[in-house]
Chains A and B, each alone.
Chain A
Amino acid sequence: MSAPMAAARSAVSSPPGSLWDRLEPLLSRVEKPARYIGGEDGAVRPDWSSDAPGGPVSWLFTYPDTYEIGLPNQGLQILAEIVAEHPHGVAERAYAPWVDLEAELRANGVPLFSVDGHRPAGAFDLIGFNLSAELTYTNLVNLIDLAGVPVRAAERRADHPLVCVGGHCTYNPEPVADFVDLVVLGDGEEVVSEITDVVLDWKAAGRPDRRSVLEALARVPGVYVPAAYEVSYDGPRIRAIEPRWPGVPEVVEKRTIADLGEWPYPQSQLVPLTEVVHDRLNVEVFRGCTRGCRFCQAGMITRPVRERPADQVRTMVREGLRRTGYDEVALTSLSTADFSGIAGVIGDLAGRQQDAGDLAGRSGSGAAGDAGDLCGPVSVSLPSLRVDAFGVGIAAELQQGRRSGLTFAPEAGTWRMRQVINKLITDDDLYGAVEAAYSQGWRRVKLYFLTGLPTETDQDTLGIAELARNCVEVGRPHLRSPGVTVSVGGFVPKPFTPFQWFGQNTVAELGRKIGLLRDEFRSVRGAQMKWHDPAATQVEGLLSRGDRRLGPVIESVWRRGGTFQEWSECFDLDLWAGAMAEHGLSMDDYVHRHRTEDEVLPWAHLSAGLHQDFLWQDWRDALAEVGLPDCRWTPCYDCGACTGYGIEHVVASATPPAGGSQGTGQGLAWDRGAVPVQLGVRGGS
């Protein structure tokens, strides 16, 4: 990598100028230049005016991967809107330039830029990164460097931006502790304004030394300043993690917003001018999940469950579709069929689709116009479909277009294994869901599984093939050649889950299990198997539970050109293995070793609100193959998420949703193939 670029900082209160004239000639030479021009519909023109003595507080919200992956990130869009509403806040956005543009930028001395105003990243007060995937950590370092900022926080001066990270990976930010100034734990809706206020005061005071603002920030609940804590070691183990600065909390608690209804954001979702992933309207229907799947970090760290009022969901869908012109809306959450207002919202949407369908029939060729409030045919998607016929029924009601494939995540191949991971769906739940799908016109089902789970035997692994075989059989009465695609990923234990103590399977062991399955799948006609690279799984595991000693490893990999490690064409295990050896660290010790109850874990000074003894008990229950029903509809297990914050689950219905046995702990009677909801109208005919 080239030497850090010197980015001249403009005077405190005048907005930094645009780099567009220097950037434009470079864009004719790179792939997909549209991802660098900004101009999305819904983007607010940044307002840099402010009567604050030190000028406005400027945030550059940055996703450390390409525009196509990063633009749809709802978290960054929410935060940018909230900052823009702050009387002294201004927000712009940036994404990782692809390698071709990065080479042009470095060759021409142009720094990382915002896509809104094409302003230099180094001129912002804060650069706020979303960390959703461990393999983007080298991109984080690369973008800090490309901004012209020293990559190590300790080497930054008062006039450099503050580097801030948030998102799910920050529940163990220790591997990136060297590179960041502050970390935000939990929901960002409230804390982003509190950080803005602290920085505003600091700027008004003439931007004195960096330590003073970091000390003030470390006192904001939910903000963790790594430099304020000292980690001591005892050989390969951590001895203690203790505050080094006065007045900082011993344990940093995550932030939780009590009422999602108070935060109907993003209010103006960005509509990109070029193609991105998840290119549709997204409406978050609830946050948090209490199904209690033990491998699932998202479900553990986002508790308690907070539903958005159904009326607000309807309004956000209706107004969002009208404003954006999108023809697809996704109702997002960790398990949308569990939303207690689902029936009403779906009835509403299906009714509107019916209007559009009627209109199409009348005109003879399909039309938009008067179709209720929608601007034409609209499809609704549920990104997380529950494994039962109820879920399929909902999908049937909503999916108007071609029914090609439907995805389920049974996660493990045997009931025993699913009790261990607390994914309490029976084989019959799955077959019922699959039969419902085939009988209603879907031609292919996709099944997601994990391998390398705690206590997994070869019988459990091979159970995956058995389930796939039976799913094909279930489909035969309905289709001549029912398709089943199985996707197998290697399990990575994550912090603040009951499996945080589990030693991850080695690359060799994961490879062996995948090999077993591949052999077995040869005899399963109609089923196809795909798998993830176990080498990438190993590095994800390394970074997921690593400590601060991995900072130099990440830096070494970056210096040797190891960016975009999320991309299989760029991932390089040798770079990581080499860097571990160079710094005298053991992959086995970090990744494959079981932890003991008394070990000080690298995230011991952080809290997701979950009691340590709850997690440990849940780990013991897992090993004893004991499943725990969903606490929304059963007594509390005292995990700590509600009580610790004085918040209750916000759920409209006191009874479990219809269909399936999963999570309710009840073996609900059910007729295979029957679907408890009515079919919706098919579009366009």
Chain B
Amino acid sequence: MTRVRLRYSKLGKVRFLSHRDVARVLERAVRRAGLPVAYSQGFSPRARLHFGLALSTGFESIAEYLDVDLVDGVGDWDVAELPESLSACLPDGLEVGAATTIPAGTPSLQDAVSWCTWQLDIPGVAPGVLAAAVERLGSADSIPLDLVRKGKQVREDLRPLLGDLVAERTAEGARLVADLGTKPRSVRPAEFYAALDPTGPLPDVADVRVLRRHQWINVDGTRREPVSLGPPSPHAQERAS
């Protein structure tokens, strides 16, 4: 059995698909592409697809990952051709950009990914307001976050899970690029957004356009992407529109 790691993007209208929806669409695409996907044992055999961190409904991404187990010696496939053959079976906006085989024993995506880089486009906000909030967060020793967990009110510190943070000005407002940790648990972009606590008004989180730019794993002390992307596909944006 060979494990293949795929990197894909989710852009445009399909951002409204849920994680479950995307999983089912990818499972059908693997079948339609004729790949010899392995199935689990038992009365309800399932295709052996292993998904990485979930992406919330409404968010976009250029860095999603999926591992697929393929049966050796069956069918005729070439890992270099997988991006094209799978993308042909996917709806507009979902596109496989890179694929690589990974050795047995490679940690799963869920275990390995430790940080994500998020991009938040915030319409109509004054850049100064955001810059001040970023400044404050960056210099804070702790960022208390109140959560309800198992029906109980708990307070967590967001600080250890907040990495690099940059604010930029855009035509419509401002863009925040933030590294958020996933260990011991993933910080949600909405939680981070709520923690900004700006001096001026921020638009409703529903109006913020969120895109995952990177997921990071740690290899011998350096951070790397699970699958690095070659030169960007010239069709990626076009297909998503």
Q: Is the interface of A mostly helix, strand, loop or mixed?
A: loop
Q: Is the CB of B35 within 8 A of A368?
A: yes
In the complex, whether B188 has a CB less than 8 A from a CB of chain A is no
A175 within 8 A of B: no
Residues in A whose Cβ lies below 8 Å from that of B83: none
Q: How far is the CB of B222 from chain A (nearest CB, A)?
A: 35
The interface-forming segment of A323-331, A522-530, A607-615 is A323-331
List residues of chain A with CB within 8 A of the CB of B38.
363, 365-367
How far is A376 from B32 in the complex, measured between Cα atoms in Å?
10
* Residues of A20-35 contacting chain B, CB below 8 A: 20, 25, 27-29, 32-34
A529 to chain B, nearest CB (A): 28
For residue B25, give the distance in angstroms from its CB to the closest CB of chain A: 6
Q: A370 at the A/B interface (Cβ < 8 Å)?
A: yes
- Give the residues in chain B near A685, CB-CB below 8 Å: 41-42
A401 contacts the other chain (Cβ, under 8 Å)? Answer: yes
Tell me which of B13, B20, B57 has the highest count of chain A C-beta atoms within 10 A of its own C-beta.
Answer: B13
**Min CB–CB distance B21 → chain A (angstroms):** 5
The CA of A322 and the CA of B14, in the complex, are separated in Å by 23
Decide if A369 is an interface residue (CB 8 Å cutoff): yes
Of residues 35 through 49 on chain B, the ones whose CB sits less than 8 Å from some CB of chain A are 35-45, 47-48
Q: How far is the CB of B201 from chain A (nearest CB, A)?
A: 18
- Stretch from A37-45, A253-261, A300-308 contacting the other chain: A37-45
Tell me the chain B residues, 1-57 only, with Cβ under 8 Å from chain A.
1, 13-14, 16-18, 20-21, 24-25, 27-32, 34-45, 47-48, 57
Q: B3 → chain A, closest Cβ, in Å?
A: 12
Stretch from A268-276, A282-290, A583-591, A653-661 contacting the other chain: A268-276
* Interfacial residues of chain A within 370-387, with CB under 8 A of chain B in the complex: 370, 375-377
A36 within 8 A of B: yes
The reply to whether B28 and A271 form a contact with Cβ atoms under 8 Å apart is yes
Chain B's closest residue to A370 (CB) is B74
Question: Hey, which chain A residues are within 8 Å of B18, CB to CB?
Answer: 32, 34, 274
Q: Taking the complex as formed, is B206 at the interface, i.e. its CB lies under 8 A from any CB of chain A?
A: yes
Question: Which of these, B16, B40, B43, B71, contacts A369 with CB under 8 Å?
Answer: B71
Whole-angstrom distance between the alpha carbons of A115 and B16 in the complex? 13
A25, A40, A326, A327, most chain B CB atoms within 10 A = A327
Report the minimum CB–CB distance from B38 to chain A (whole Å): 5
Measured CA separation A273–B35 after assembly (Å): 20
A377 touches B39 (CB 8 A): yes
A166 at the interface (CB under 8 A from B): no
Given contacts A28-B207, A33-B57, A34-B18, contact A366 B28 (CB under 8 A): no
Q: How far is the CA of A377 from the CA of B17 in the complex (A)?
A: 26
Interface size (B, Cβ < 8 Å)? Answer: 43
Interface magnitude class on chain A: 35 or more
Give the shortest distance, in Å, between B35 (CB) and chain A (any CB).
7
Is A360 at the interface (CB under 8 A from chain B)?
A: yes
B91 at the interface (CB under 8 A from A): yes
Using known A-B contacts A25-B207, A274-B17, A684-B43, determine if residue A323 contacts B32 with beta carbons closer than 8 Å: yes
Cβ proximity bits A570-598 to B, threshold 8 Å, 1 near / 0 not: 00000000000000000000000000000
Contact A273 B25 (CB under 8 A): yes
In the complex the two chains form, is B206's CB within 8 Å of A29's CB? Answer: yes
Asked if A185 lies at the interface with its beta carbon under 8 angstroms from chain B, I say: no
Is B92 positioned at the interface, with any CB of A under 8 Å from its CB? Answer: yes
Among residues of A, the one whose C-beta sits closest to the C-beta of B91 is A39
Q: Is A452 an interface residue (CB 8 A)?
A: no
Q: Is the CB of B71 within 8 A of A367?
A: yes
Query: Which residue of B21, B29, B91 is within 8 Å of A325 (Cβ)?
Result: B29
B35:A684 contact, CB within 8 angstroms: no
Given known contacts A25-B207, A34-B18, A375 and B39 CB-to-CB distance under 8 angstroms: no
Cβ 8 A contact of B74, one of A38, A274, A367: A367
Q: State A376–B48 Cα separation when bound (angstroms).
A: 12
Q: How far is the CA of A577 from the CA of B14 in the complex (A)?
A: 44
- Nearest A residue to B1 via CB reads A365
What separation, in Å, do the CA atoms of A34 and B27 have in the docked complex?
Answer: 18
Question: For residue B132, which residues in chain A have a CB less than 8 angstroms away from its CB?
Answer: none
C-alpha gap A27/B58 in the complex (Å): 9
Q: Closest CB-CB distance, B238 to chain A, in whole Å?
A: 15
Known A28-B58, A323-B32, A325-B32: A273·B1 in contact at CB below 8 Å: no
Min CB–CB distance B123 → chain A (angstroms): 9
Q: Give the residues in chain A near B30, CB-CB below 8 Å.
A: 325
Report if A683 contacts B (CB, 8 A).
yes
Contact for B41 among A39, A376, A684, CB less than 8 A: A684
A selection of 23 A-B contacts at a CB cut-off of 8 Å is: A20-B13, A27-B16, A28-B58, A36-B16, A37-B14, A39-B13, A39-B14, A39-B91, A273-B14, A273-B21, A275-B24, A325-B29, A325-B31, A325-B89, A366-B38, A366-B45, A367-B74, A369-B36, A369-B71, A376-B39, A377-B39, A401-B45, A683-B43
Ordered nearest first, which 5 A-B pairs have the shortest CB separation? A366-B39, A325-B28, A369-B36, A684-B45, A325-B32
Q: Interface of B with A (CB < 8 Å)?
A: 1, 13-14, 16-18, 20-21, 24-25, 27-32, 34-45, 47-48, 57-58, 69, 71, 73-75, 89, 91-93, 206-207
